[in-house]
Amino acid sequence: HGGVAVNYMQVTGLTKDSSGLLTGVEAIDLETESRYQLRAKSIVNATGVFVDAIMRLDDPQARPLVRPSQGVHIVLSKNFLDGDSAIMIPKTSDGRVLFAVPWHDRVVVGTTDTLVDECSLEPRALEEEIDFILHTARKYLTRAPQRKDVLSIFAGLRPLAAPEGDDNTSTKEISRSHHLQVSLSGLVTITGGKWTTYRKMAQDTVDKAALVGCLEPTPCKTGEMPIHGWLANVDPADPLSYYGSDAEAMRDLIKKRPELGKPLHARLPYTAVEVIWSVRHEMARTVDDILARRQRALFLDARAAIEMAPAVAKILADELKKDIPWQREQIRQFTELARGYFLVS
């Protein structure tokens, strides 16, 4: 649709004209360390929990717009929940909701809602959050989960819109609605929101950006536009079903090289063809891109993901024309990352 996505390009500054209006951004390619100045008629700050950092590039005195809330999930073997139905505990000891949902032949149990002061690219579960989930889940699951049963544990940060005034506002009382703000320089910032309203969030944001940039208004098309890969009547038993219409091209690769269709680990379904596809068509650049951001290996079984890392690094190196030291560094970095995703009894 005429757009270009660039990953591993970090914005380090904003450029303005003599009247203080934004004209573009300064950015650095994190792989090559090359620096760029990019001009733009309109700039959108849609960086989730990190919007305040970008706001401060525009105005060092900008009021914080986000109150980050941490949500933690644990992943267990599917035999902790009988059947294929999810369960929801509508009121826990602290008045919140807990759920257990069948997910990729596992069970994911969560979540928490903990206000945090610092935003991290790799948030970590607090011990009290782990204890809360395990303690509550033991009352409702088929078996009582212990720390040793946790295959993976992961945390994420919700970019809740910061309330004005009282910083002690409960997360339950903070609106999940999205909010748009335009600074005096023309920076369009979106905060809040949730997955279920992502399309409306995007529509409102692009409409505002077009207005700020004096671009010709165009009716939004995404309400009727199929998402890439959409395919009716997929077979969930097919390990490539998640790729939708792309799966046929992946099967063609397997026909030429049958070894690409074999699982990379006995406890997980992911294959070499998925790694190749992610590099060639999904902009994957690192082992954690593959095992956490394109596949779900790290979230389904962190120890198995570590064991997969050397094979994934080798495939990546072949595709990206990287050397042995690069592979070793990728394995080291991923192993260090993944150790934060399992519990030590």
Q: Tell me the residue length of the chain.
A: 345
Say whether both 208 and 335 belong to one domain. no
Q: How many domains does the chain have?
A: 3
CATH of the domain at 43: 3.50.50.60
Indicate whether 143 belongs to any domain: yes
- The owner of tokens 């935003």 is 119
Task: Based on the fold, state whether residues 271 and 142 are members of the same structural domain.
Answer: no
List Cα–Cα distances, 12 to 5, 296, 316, in angstroms: 18, 30, 28
- Tokens standing for 133? 């989930």
Single residue among 161, 191, 222 that ends a domain in this structure: 161
228 is a domain residue: no
What pLDDT does residue 1 have?
A: 78
Please give the Cα distance from 100 to 102 (Å, whole number). Answer: 7
| pLDDT for the residue numbered 165 | 63
Residue 174 lies in a domain: yes
pLDDT for 168 equals: 56
On whether both 47 and 133 belong to a single domain, the answer is no
The enclosing domain of 149 has a CATH number of: 3.30.9.10
Is 166 a domain residue?
yes
Asked if 314 and 327 touch (Cβ cutoff 8 Å), the reply is yes
Predicted confidence at residue 233, as pLDDT, reads 87
CA distance 36 to 9: 10
Residue range of the domain that includes 30: 9-65+162-212
Distance, CA of 185 to chain centre: 30
Residue 121 has a pLDDT of 92
Same structural domain for residues 188 and 333?
no
Q: Let me know whether 50 and 188 are in one domain.
A: yes
Q: Assess whether 27 and 172 both reside in one domain.
A: yes
| pLDDT by position in tens, the chain (length 345) | 788 999 999 999 999 999 999 999 999 999 999 999 999 999 999 999 999 999 999 999 999 999 899 999 999 999 999 889 999 998 887 777 899 999 999 999 999 989 998 899 999 999 999 999 999 999 999 999 999 999 999 999 998 887 776 555 556 656 678 999 999 999 999 998 888 999 999 999 999 999 999 999 899 999 999 999 999 888 888 889 999 999 999 999 999 999 999 999 999 999 999 999 999 999 999 999 999 999 999 999 999 999 999 999 999 999 999 999 999 999 999 999 999 999 987
Domain presence at residue 184: yes
Mark whether 186 and 269 lie in a shared domain: no
- pLDDT for the residue numbered 172: 61
- Residue 235 in domain: no
For 198-227, letters b (16+ CB in 10 Å) and e give eeebbebbbebbbebeeeeeeeeeeeeeee
Task: Answer for the pair 42, 183: CB distance below 8 angstroms, yes or no.
Answer: no
* Three-class SS state of 44: strand
Residue at 74 is within a domain: yes
Residue 58 sits in the same domain as residue 190: yes
Same domain, 54 and 109: no
Q: Are residues 100 and 74 in the same domain?
A: yes
Is 234 contained in some domain?
A: no
Statement to judge: residues 96 and 27 lie in one domain: no
Predicted local distance difference test score (pLDDT) of residue 5: 94
Residues 167 and 282 in one domain: no
